[in-house]
Amino acid sequence: MTLPNSSDRPPARDWTWPQRHSLLLVGLSPIVANLIGSVFNILYNQTQIQPLLSPAQMDRFHACWQVFNLFVYPVAIACYVVPLWRLRPLHRALLNQMPVDADRLAAGRRRVLHLPWWFLLVAAIGWLSCIPVFPLAIASAGEPLSGLVIGHLVTSFVIASLIAVTQSFFAVELATQATLFPVFFQDANPASTPGAVPLSIRMRGILWAFSAVVCPVVSLVLLLIVPDAANLSPMFGVTVGVVAIAFGLITSWMLGRWVASPVTQLQRAASSVAGGNLDVRVNLLRSDDFGLLIERFNRMVEGLQHREKLQETFGRHVGREAARQIMSQSDGSSGQEQNITVMFVDVRNFTRQSSNMPAAQVVDALNLFFESAVEIVERHGGMVNKFLGDGFMAIFGVGSQTELHGPRAVTAGCELACVVDSLQDRMLDAGWNEFAIGIGINTGIAVVGCIGSPKRQEYTAIGDTVNIASRVESLTKPLNRVLLITQSTRDSLPDSFEVQTLPDQTVKGKTTAVAVYAIIPSTTTNASNCQTLPKQVPDRQPSLVQHSDDATAGTNADRVD
């Protein structure tokens, strides 16, 4: 392995003491369980087996356990240590943030995940090998060996192995997960490691039941079946029962900790996501079913975060409310009829002004107005549906605010007219003389929704209600009015609005004259709302299309017919 230049290495991580010495801690984790199993085995042998042995058999018994401990235990310890020792170089390299070959890292990760299984196998072989070895060693003394001795030997080693093996597995797994996983899985999910065989939730429940339920019951049953050589069966049975219950509680605690940690973190993360925090992640490394669940949860949150960003970006082009409406509709859903209020706003003398100004200056001047206009429309529950070069079309009464859309639209129009007056100085600085607008508002039934081809759709409103609103806006210039409304909008207004009746007007596309009314903004709008809004980036990005003032009304109508 080639050592990288120090400047090319990633910044060193602040490893904890357990993580730096994780191999040692994993190696020590099964010692307590095996020591307790050994203590139980020794006490059982002293009280139940030794009274049944002759002096010659006792000598063989002592010689057997001495030789066994001298040879078998070192072999078992070596089997414990070898896989940990082989992980040492890779462990050191990962701690030092050194580059590691991918195949070598994958093999090391599989070895880490299989450590609990390996320790369980070694412990089971070590304990269960005592069952044939000790009876054969005692029988080699040349004296008859009673079946009672064999029964007690089997009972002793079975109970001790049940205590030691299952507890060792859980202890090694918890130590591995807490200390080795952060080092070996810095940028990977243990549950996605190819070739690894972690313990599933179902198998873990079976192993827990075996350790906490089966082991105590089997131990007590064996004590009842095998005759008591020292006449200590009740007291010894109580002792075994206490030890078994203690180990059952320990196993339950370890299993509870194993389950509670991911469940608690997932619950907290889910609550944060439900509260709108999409920056939360569950940073818990697990190799089992919880690992896959955590990975999928984090991917789900990333997907929601991407969707939120997409909706935010999308909303800058179609409007936030339109974006919500579009994303809430299913593919292929068409528009539906709704009672809405439509507002058309047009900038006066756009052609003359734009012909005397650079294009960039025209855009800056229009954006100065649009940024305030969008804010006002959305504050009153409307949405700017589309920009029409030097104006825009807004819809009120869709989305979450469907009530009183007529009064809200008129109030928004009054504020727009008032803000135009407060913007005169800034528009003059931008090179726009005598900045003025015309506003037309109409209320009625229109088809609202995604309209277009399957490949290209637009969220908008169409129908006669929209056409009339556009025609009414075109009347503001010849009638020398800023804000005109129709009869249907007038009927939706409370008496607090000062409305001036005008002669009925003939508009393009209608065979009968249309009743129009003028609104006086200065008497309807609160003076506090007439201050120039702070400059900000427009929520919508308009697409500027220049057209002549005389054709404005027709162009607007053609866009929405």
Per-residue HEC secondary structure of 72-123 comes to: HHHHHHHHHHHHHHHHHHHHHHHHCCCCCCHHHHHHHHHHHHCHHHHHHHHH
Separation of alpha carbons 199 and 191, rounded Å: 10
pLDDT score of 396 more than 90: yes
> What is the number of residues in the chain?
561
Question: Per-residue pLDDT tens for 247-290?
Answer: 667 767 766 777 777 888 888 888 888 887 888 888 777 777 77
Separation of alpha carbons 68 and 505, rounded Å: 112
Alpha helices in 487-551 (DSSP H): 487-491, 521-524
Separation of alpha carbons 485 and 515, rounded Å: 9
pLDDT interval class at 178 (50, 70, 90): confident
pLDDT interval class at 393 (50, 70, 90): very high
Separation of alpha carbons 35 and 41, rounded Å: 10
Of 206-220, 444-458, 503-517, the poorest mean pLDDT is in 206-220
Separation of alpha carbons 61 and 138, rounded Å: 6
pLDDT interval class at 6 (50, 70, 90): very low
Most confidently modeled range among 156-165, 186-195, 243-252, 413-422:
413-422
pLDDT interval class at 543 (50, 70, 90): very low
Residues of the chain with pLDDT > 90, as a percent, come to 15
pTM of the model as a whole? 0.55
